[in-house]
Structure 1
Amino acid sequence: MSSSDIQITPIKQSKINSVDFNNLVFGTVFSDYMFECDYKDGKWQTPVIKPYGDISISPSARVFHYGQAVFEGMKAYKDDNDDIFLFRPEENFVRINKSSERLAIPEFPKEYFFDGLTTLLNLDKDWIKKGIGNSMYIRPFVIATQPAISASPSEEYKFMILLSPAQAYYAGEVRVIFSEKYSRAADGGVGFAKAAGNYAAQFYPTKLAHEKGYQQIIWTDASSHQFLEEAGTMNIFFRIGDTLLTAPNNDRILDGVTRKSVIQLAKDNNIEVEVRRVSVVEIKDAARKGTLKEIFGSGTATVINPILGFSHGGKEYELPTVENSYASFFKEKLMNIQYNISEDPYGWRVKI
């Protein structure tokens, strides 16, 4: 398949002039077009791109009853020459199919994914604004659409890509609580997949954390709650002294694209990084001794999100203010690659 095979229904009139790009609420404004492709009769059908709008789906569609739904999060960036770039898109493509496989959803073809995404971004290129912090958030997702309320995998699916213009994501001052009761994922489960249900299950304990004055939860392992794994929608890093620590990938932790980029940048900039289990006791001891210098999250929406303090066992721990922080270093390095400001020795930046 090539871009010419995609059926495109043109918009009658763009809605771009009705959008205030200086006051965007993340994930609430969508561009003119969307990509859609249905799976039926054992194969993916001809993709279409059409005006963004509602879709019609049966109330008995299996997604509503058995939760077959996975998604991805990506961004497109525009440099000062109006060129558009993606950041490590191959990783997102591989991961959505890895997620799909875990939920018994058929793999989406690579050429459909990239031809569809490229065509969509070119159609809506005026929605991608220049300037550091501005980007186009990209949401590919798959849902089970077969109308049947029987507990088995669907035989019909819908793959879609939505585009949502975004500004710099600022979460404000972030303090977290280390989980002592609730778990995000368990061994043998779907924690490594971007399954929609993973996030739904986080909302209630996160609500409880908000009521106590914390913005996020750092999840601990489900069996013992002794080891720190992931924070909300982010992977998590700890800096003790000059060493960076992060939990290893497993079937409970999402294989974050930003996470693996930070690890690579650390290694190449003479920052010692240890990928190993990180215990609650170790981090609390380091905080008491003053050797815990930073905690920060990494993810597509935030890039790097510093954490100012944490709570565990009813005790609060504040982190020091650090000049030349690792968080700011990695954020600048990553964004300079994403916005075509610096050289990209890794081939992470892909021009559209």
Structure 2
Amino acid sequence: MENIINNIPVTKCEKSKISDVDFNNLAFGSVFSDHMLVCDYKNGAWETPTIVPYQPITLDPSAKIFHYGQSIFEGMKAYKDTNEDVWLFRPMDNCKRLNISAKRLAIPELPEAYFMEGLKALLKLDSNWIPTNSGGSLYIRPFIFASGNGFHASPANAYKFIIATAPSGAYFSGKVKVAIEEKYSRSANGGVGYAKAGGNYAGQFYPTQLAIQKGYNQVIWTDDNTHEYIEEAGAMNIFVRINDTLMTAPTSDRILDGITRKSIIEIAKAEGINVEVKKISVNEVVEAAKNGSLKEMFGSGTAAVVSPIAAFGYKGTDYDLPELENSYASLLKKRITDIQYNRTDDPFGWRVKV
């Protein structure tokens, strides 16, 4: 069955899978909604996007994604308020960052209208997949990869852009214990650390496995040159609170310009919290832990919004963080999620209605 939504051609699935889904028990990113948006780049141009039933992709064994890793993605969410209205949070930031990543990996940039109108059409079609239970949301994964064929080491001549979605329950990371990395690097100066390239995450898995084997949940990445400065927390940006000052590392070639990170900085300033964007040395954090001035550490990202860190390990010693009743982490998470779910005013203009 075909129709048009937002000028996007739609082929609907014959039968929805939604009745088979237990929305009260959703593991993150493991159940997928009925449809996906697909757009191909061929003959030097992006073709018209279409929405089709969620389905496998067929690729030639010589497709360049398999050999040279031209692959980028975004992570975002759709939310439903108590009136069943659907909202996005800073979607143009995701669109712009996708194209920043595309440019760095020699992937053709995607027209913004294809991203925004395609996403809105997909959400209108699959709006029943957006959870309404507390903390639930529809995780959205836009991605582009090289579908063109050939073993020669050069950019592909064909690409595929897809938006797939997955309903998710409330994301609780629990008490996270992290290891400050002393050997491996997530990224390097002049590299692709600031892009959301698939390979960035592949390279994280092995050092993270080593940390897990030692009893930690995740890794705090340090700079590639000296390993003296903390930069990111696993796949998240990182914040450190010493006394009443909230600090985070500046973005660079190595550090992703996180949308949640930017939002936390703005909200914290609006709340009167002293915020510093600066290089944070490992020694500064360790000394603060020893003298009691280290109050909080937390990661920030789309999935968990804010993920508090309960302890960190460095050079064989573990340091516990205090449990605070009125933490910055809990305050900032509430402020962001209240905006996302349309529970409060949005003074920043971040919320976009679908």
Instruction: Please state if 1:34 is matched with 2:50.
Output: no
Q: Which residue of 2 is the match for residue 62 of structure 1?
A: 64
TM-superposed CA distance for 1:4, in Å, is 4.7
2:154 to 139, 152, 155: 152
- CA deviation map 1:187-225 (0-9, x unaligned): 000000000000000000000011011001000000000
Distance 1:5 1:137 in 2: 23
The alpha-carbon deviation at position 256 of structure 1 amounts to 0.3
Q: How many residues align?
A: 351
Amino acid at match of 2:315: G
Q: Structure 2 length normalisation: TM-score?
A: 0.98
Distance in 2 separating the partners of 1:140 and 1:11: 20
Task: State the partner residue of 1:94.
Answer: 96
SS of residue matched to 2:154:
coil
In 2: Cα distance, 1:292 partner to 1:249 partner: 22
1:212-254, CA deviations, whole angstroms, 9 ceiling, x for partnerless residues?
1100100000000000000111100000000001000101000
1:75 and 1:136 in contact (8 A); partners too:
yes
Alignment of 1:179-194 (within 5 A): 179-194=181-196
Amino acid across the alignment from 2:158: E
Q: Please provide the CA RMSD for this pair.
A: 0.9
Structure 2: 5+ residue stretches without partners: none
CA distance in 2, matches of 1:129, 1:24: 10
Task: Confirm whether residue 135 of structure 1 aligns to residue 140 of structure 2.
Answer: no
C-alpha contact (below 8 Å) 2:6/2:121 kept by paired residues: no
- CA separation in 2, counterparts of 1:349 and 1:273? 23
Contact 1:246–1:275, Cα closer than 8 Å, also in 2: yes
Structure-1 residue corresponding to 2:296: 294
Aligned to 1:13: 15
Paired residues of 2:175 and 2:309 also in contact (CA < 8 A): yes
Q: Classify the secondary structure of the residue corresponding to 2:247.
A: strand
In the alignment, structure 1 segments of 5+ residues that lack a partner are none
Q: Could you tell me whether the CA contact under 8 Å between 2:119 and 2:163 is conserved in 1?
A: yes
| Deviation of the 1:170 alpha carbon | 1.1
Distance 1:286 1:317 in 2: 10
Counterpart-to-counterpart distance in 2, 1:52 and 1:111: 22
What's the counterpart of residue 233 of structure 1? 235
* Residue in structure 2 matching 1:197, options 199, 202, 207: 199
Return the alpha-carbon distance in structure 2 between the equivalents of residues 321 and 71 of structure 1: 35
Partner Cα separation in structure 2 for residue 220 and residue 227 of structure 1: 5
Deviation at 1:3, TM superposition (A): 4.3
**Counterpart of 1:58 in 2: which secondary structure?**
coil
* Residue-by-residue CA offset, 1:327-350 (whole Å, 9 max, x unaligned): 000000000000000100011000
1:178 aligns with 2:191: no
| Identity percentage of aligned residues | 58
2:128 and 2:147 map into 1 onto residues whose CA distance is 32
Please give the alpha-carbon distance, in whole angstroms, between the structure 2 residues aligned to 1:176 and 1:129: 31
In the alignment, which of 255, 258, 278 is matched to residue 256 of structure 1? 258
Equivalent residue number for residue 284 of structure 2? 282
Q: 1:217 aligns with which of 216, 219, 228?
A: 219
Structure 1 residue aligned with 2:310:
308
Q: Could you tell me how far apart the structure 1 residues matched to 2:27 and 2:5 are?
A: 31
Q: Distance in 2 between matches of 1:10 and 1:181?
A: 50
TM-score normalised by structure 1 residue count: 0.99
Question: Which residue matches 1:167?
Answer: 169
Q: What is the aligned partner in structure 1 of residue 75 from structure 2? A: 73
Q: Deviations over 1:160-205 (max 9, x none)?
A: 0001001111122200000000000000000000000000000000
Deviates more, 1:2-11 or 1:241-250: 2-11
Distance between the aligned counterparts of 2:124 and 2:25, measured in 1? 24
Q: 2:187 & 2:331 partners in 1: Cα distance?
A: 31
Q: Distance in 1 between matches of 2:136 and 2:282?
A: 36
